[in-house]
Amino acid sequence: MDGVILDNTPVQARAFQLLFQDIGVEADAYQLLRRLNGMPATDILKQVLEEPKPEKELKKYADQREFLYRTLYRDERRPTAGVVDFLKAARAAGLKIGLGTGSANDTLSYILDYLDLRPFFDVIVGADDVEAGKPHPETYAAVAEKLAIKPEHCLVFEDALLGEQAAYKAGMRCVAITSTLGAHEFQAPLAAVRDFTETTPEQLREQFTKAGAVPKSDEEKTKAQYPKKD
């Protein structure tokens, strides 16, 4: 959802930056999200906090960040350019559409219901529906299962490298949305577009039919983006 059907990464980064100021963390939130966008907020916080914190405290910080985000984004909520027309065209073409996101149900309502986007999706899987967030493939695997579609027949739209890796781990191809990262920073997307004005379901269907095997997840790229602490 974030960075794909919404071009909201700068607002997400600003919310993190305000949180960091409050809790005394020195980090560049925008650069952090360039690496870790799509990961649950509590996991992002684990990457910048010098000392380990109990999950209860991490959740408190994540809730504070969510409050800041909603306050900053309240009057700016709008879909990414072209996404509504793209979803209408996909629906008219008879394609099944699922949304897999790291956002919780209340955030989904804050966005999808306000923008009246929920009817476009046959299936929605959020943070409350899975055990592991990206780069784990569970979110996308759950979407495919609920759609009753084989993973190799699915096409994921991602703005983040960790999300791209999650797609490949789930056995799916990926389109890169370059709202945050450049096309060259992704591993092996089927296509790379700035927003949904630059492609159509029919164009992607043609590219999909000509594509080779689903890429294997590049574990080195995942490690570089998602460093493991000792």
For the chain, which ranges sit under pLDDT 70?
Answer: 222-230
pLDDT at res. 228: 47
Can you give the pLDDT at residue 227? 52
Cα separation, 22 vs 120, whole angstroms: 38
pLDDT for position 226 = 53
- In order of their start, the domains of the chain are 9-76 (1.10.150), 83-225 (3.40.50.1000)
Q: What pTM value is reported for the model? A: 0.88
Checking phi first, is residue 148 left (phi over 0); if not, alpha (psi -120 to 50) or beta?
A: left
